[in-house]
Amino acid sequence: MNTPEHVFALFIEANPVADPDQLDVATESEGEIVHDVERDVLTEKRRPVNGRGGVSLQRGWKPAMVAASVVLLVGVIGLGALVFNATRSGPVAAESAVMEVFFDGEACTYTGPTELLPGNGVMEFERAPGTEPVVLYVHTIVGDDVGMDELLDWAATHPARAIPPWLGRNGSVLLEDGATSMRLPFEFTEGRYGVSCNTSPNGTDRVFVGAILSVTPG
């Protein structure tokens, strides 16, 4: 048998990117998204963007572009209103809402209405067989300026066991050992809620954001 040290030495040698300095970080030849930093002319604040360098507004073009944007915006709003009115179903009563959350080991997927009326609902939580122990959390979101971006950023950066001040824990259910599904009864009052799946026994190792639910009086 090979010793662990010998095999680990081979593993180190097999590093597919042994020297990061060899990486070409400037090319966009294969259509890949590369990092760039553009100057935002409106705020004069430098910020990173994705994509092919983003769109840089030139001052001479600004008035024309603003005018075109206004026309386009009006059109989009009008079209959006038509579509919205044609398809809008409105908030669903929490008592009758079918809310399901599924964790497959890599994603926390919420299926169900995202707009609810206040009331007592039940969330069905299921995980794929063989996945690690996982907790379903329903957090109250405090603050109107917190959206999906903030939740995703939190999930990507939060240190273990740190819950941001704009999240309150309201309900949770743990799937571990042989359990693959459970139900979480929950009282939805007016406000917004973040739904997430958190792995590890204490539920704070990795956060997988599922959805934001909005509860309004109707």
Partner 1 sequence: MADPTTRFDLVYDRHYRDVLAYCMRRTEPADARAAANRVMEIAWRKLDDLPSGDETLPWLYGVARKVLGHHWRGIRRRRRLENELRAQRGRTQVDPGQVVVMREELEHVLEASALLNDRDREILRLAGWEGLSHRQIADILGCSVATVDQRFHRAKRRLAEKYDTVTLARTLRRVVGLDNPGGAR
Give yes or no for residue 52 binding partner 1 (CB under 8 A).
Answer: no
**Based on the number of CB atoms within 10 Å of its own CB, is 88 exposed (0-12), middle (13-18) or buried (19 or more)?**
exposed
Figure out which of the listed residues 62, 161, 169, 183 binds partner 1, where binding follows CB under 8 A: 161
Give yes or no for residue 22 binding partner 1 (CB under 8 A).
Answer: yes
Figure out which of the listed residues 63, 129, 159, 165 binds partner 1, where binding follows CB under 8 A: 159
User: Interface mask (CB under 8 A) for partner 1, residues 174-213, using x and -?
Assistant: ------------------------------xxxxxx----
d(CA 113, CA 94): 9
Give yes or no for residue 111 binding partner 1 (CB under 8 A).
Answer: no
The token duo for 206 is: 């990795």
| Placement of tokens 């009052």 in the chain | 189
Give yes or no for residue 43 binding partner 1 (CB under 8 A).
Answer: no
Figure out which of the listed residues 23, 42, 64, 86 binds partner 1, where binding follows CB under 8 A: 23
Q: Among the candidate windows 46-54, 73-81, 169-177, 187-195, which touches partner 1 by CB under 8 A?
A: 46-54
Q: Which residue type does 73 have?
A: L
Nearer to partner 1, 68 or 152 (CB): 152
Give yes or no for residue 16 binding partner 1 (CB under 8 A).
Answer: yes
Phi-psi region of 90 (alpha: psi -120 to 50; beta: other; left: phi over 0): left
CB of 182 to partner 1, least distance (A): 22
The token duo for 133 is: 């122990």
Beta pairing, strands 206-215 & 119-127: unpaired
Q: Are 204 and 161 in contact (CB under 8 A)?
A: yes
* H or E stretch covering 171: strand 167-175
Give yes or no for residue 141 binding partner 1 (CB under 8 A).
Answer: no
d(CA 87, CA 4): 61
Q: Which residues bind partner 1 (CB under 8 A)?
A: 1-8, 10-17, 19-23, 25, 30-35, 37, 45-48, 50, 105-107, 152-153, 155-157, 159-161, 204-209
